[in-house]
Structure 1
Amino acid sequence: MKMYRSLHAAALALTALAALPLHAQAQAWPAKPITFIVPFAAGSATDQLARALGQSITVDTKQAVVVDNKAGASGMLAAQSVARAAPDGYTVLITTNTTHAANEHLYKKLPYDPVKDFVPVTGLGKGGQVMVVNVNSPYKTVADVLAAAKQQPGKLSFGSGSSSSRVAGELFKQMAHVDLLHVPYKSNPLAITDLLGGQIDLMITDTSTGVPQVKAGKLRALGISTAQRSPLLPEVPTIDEAGVKGYDMGYWFAAYVPAGTPAAVVQRLRELLVSGTGSAAAKSFFDASGSVPFTTTPEGLAAFQATETQKWGKVIKAAGIDPE
């Protein structure tokens, strides 16, 4: 019995000692600036949210947060750079379903593994998209787009600068039984530029990118991608209401760090990010973009990601998109 107690006491002591480094790491972190890697260009929805969260973390920790936009290749450049970064909590991927649910179904080979190369931290938000055309476009409704697409198969073009935007357009084609020409961009803001310039006919983009242009009178909103109308454009019908029955396609934001990042650091980062979603800057983003906060535990994000990956895979397959 004495020996058992001694062994038990020793085991407890070792457990306590093992916990100390993690506790110490959490207490010391962050001790230097943090870098948020964003897979899309400055001005995109993900970029706006990352900057709002970065402001909050700087206030809470007195450490700077640098936002590094690595746009291109549907987020693969950014995801790969984070996957290869030191697992110390100082490099964080602020991303979307593009890199962590859709890409593996859109590309034959990824330069990163969306599960094995990352530790999930927390979900950050959810939002919808809007179908937009140039304000001078002859198309004033979704029905107008459908009629023109059926009269001239393959002539109307739609741009996309993210997998969410791409799949939304492809799903529209598939469900409406029309043929549209896809034009890829590095980010949605770049596609918007060409839409404003008349180089493409339409796009389905995140509301935070599209709505300001609609409010400014430069673009015309034809339909909302989710099942409910957007509070930002309550007069605009959903694409489902506009005639493509059953259409529903949104997007989500989440944070990840490189595989091997200490659990205590992940937990501290999660606390800061969750707190950040309630900050004034983040609230302003959510209100302006028509999106909502969506936070999870690391385990909850892993489970959500698995479900979403399966869902996006089905949508992409049904839309007839062949992996590139």
Structure 2
Amino acid sequence: MKTTKKMAWVFALFTWAAVAVAQDFPSKPIRIVVPYAPGGTTDVLARFLGQRMSGNLGQPVVIENRPGAGEAIGAGVVAKAPGDGYTLLLSTMTTQAINPVLYPKLSFDASKELTAIGRVADVPAMVAVHPAVPAANMAEFQRFLKANPGRNYASPGAGTPNHLATELFKKAAAVEVVHIPYKGGAPAVQDLMAGQVDFMLILAPEAMPLVKSGKLRSLAITTPQRSPMFPDLPTVSESGIKDFELVVWYTLLAPSGTPKDVIAKLNKSLNAVLDEKTTRDKLAELSIQPAGGTPEEAMTHAAKEAVKWKKVIEESNIKVD
């Protein structure tokens, strides 16, 4: 009986401590780890999000860039951090839906060591070609690729969403194209503009300035339906290439074990920011669609996407060093 009472007392103590931590949260600055170098879409999104969330949380939100290994370095930092809500990760689909298949020997298990606060945003990509490519739309581009097997495409690196999605496009369009991987998006885009490669799937925020300046030509958007941000741009699917889409999604993650009340506070802060007109207007300028929702919805979405990209990786026999 004494042992039972003692266990009940210990459980009550831990429960009280967890509630106290959640009530006091946040009492110091929060760190959002970005698994990419400064300047890209993920970094820009994190800095804007951090600035807005700091306002409703009452504490500074600082951004720490930890690039490398296809998000694995930054994600690993957060996976091994204390589960107290003060170290978060803004990741793309790569951490939850791609890396677990591509890198089975990672030092952490994203499905067990990271948990969602909420989905942040969806970002479409565009099929962009060098202006010298003789195609003004996807139908003409598909005919060009079929008539000229062995043309090439760029990606920011093996195993990136751009690479995997282009392999999916290759299968859907029934074309033979050669993958040219680069060490990052910037050098890939530079070579595309220089005509060293024929085409690339580029995130809309990064593609649009180059399309508007005439340095690249956009043939289609990769969303399932036309984007309200680009209503005149057809989708790949409506251009006649079925079973293809790419929407790069972003999720705010925390270490597993973070108290549910802390997750709830962070989720409330995130959704409040995403619902602001200021946020929606700013993200629309960047060609980014706000998402939002519950942590459970974010985890369900990640699990569904993981099944899709696992199939692409296995059927295309994609391997990375």
What is the TM-score of this pair, normalised by structure 1?
Answer: 0.86
How far residue 281 of structure 1 moved from its aligned partner, in angstroms, is: 4.9
How far residue 285 of structure 1 moved from its aligned partner, in angstroms, is: 4.2
Say if 1:159 and 1:202, in contact at 8 Å, map to a contact too: no
State whether structure 2 residue 185 is matched by structure 1 residue 188.
yes
How far residue 236 of structure 1 moved from its aligned partner, in angstroms, is: 2.1
State whether structure 2 residue 123 is matched by structure 1 residue 127.
yes
**Residue of 93, 110, 117 corresponding to 1:114:** 110
Unaligned runs of 5+ in 1: 1-6
Distance 1:14 1:75, change over 3 A: closer
1:117-266 counterparts in 2 under 5 A?
A: 117-160=113-156, 163-266=160-263
Say if 2:118 and 2:298, in contact at 8 Å, map to a contact too: yes
Q: Report Cα offsets for 1:237-267 as digits up to 9, x if no partner.
A: 2112223123222221111111222333222
How far residue 222 of structure 1 moved from its aligned partner, in angstroms, is: 0.7
How far residue 159 of structure 1 moved from its aligned partner, in angstroms, is: 2.0
1:1-324 counterparts in 2 under 5 A?
A: 17-160=13-156, 163-322=160-319, 324=321
State the number of aligned residues: 317
Say if 1:228 and 1:238, in contact at 8 Å, map to a contact too: yes
- The amino acid that maps onto 1:260 is G
How far residue 27 of structure 1 moved from its aligned partner, in angstroms, is: 3.0
- The amino acid that maps onto 1:97 is M
CA RMSD of aligned residues (A): 2.8
Say if 1:74 and 1:186, in contact at 8 Å, map to a contact too: no
Unaligned runs of 5+ in 2: none
* Segment of structure 1 superposing worse, 43-52 or 76-85: 43-52
CA distance in 1, matches of 2:74, 2:310: 21
Distance 1:276 1:185, change over 3 A: farther
CA distance in 1, matches of 2:212, 2:191: 18
Identity of aligned residues (%): 36
Say if 1:230 and 1:290, in contact at 8 Å, map to a contact too: no
Distance 1:51 1:141, change over 3 A: same
- The amino acid that maps onto 2:281 is S
How far residue 284 of structure 1 moved from its aligned partner, in angstroms, is: 3.0
How far residue 22 of structure 1 moved from its aligned partner, in angstroms, is: 2.2
Distance 1:42 1:264, change over 3 A: same
What is the TM-score of this pair, normalised by structure 2?
Answer: 0.86
How far residue 156 of structure 1 moved from its aligned partner, in angstroms, is: 1.9
CA distance in 2, matches of 1:115, 1:247: 26
* Segment of structure 1 superposing worse, 109-118 or 184-193: 184-193
Say if 1:71 and 1:186, in contact at 8 Å, map to a contact too: no
- The amino acid that maps onto 1:259 is S
CA distance in 1, matches of 2:68, 2:263: 27
How far residue 165 of structure 1 moved from its aligned partner, in angstroms, is: 1.4
CA distance in 1, matches of 2:85, 2:105: 27
Distance 1:297 1:16, change over 3 A: farther
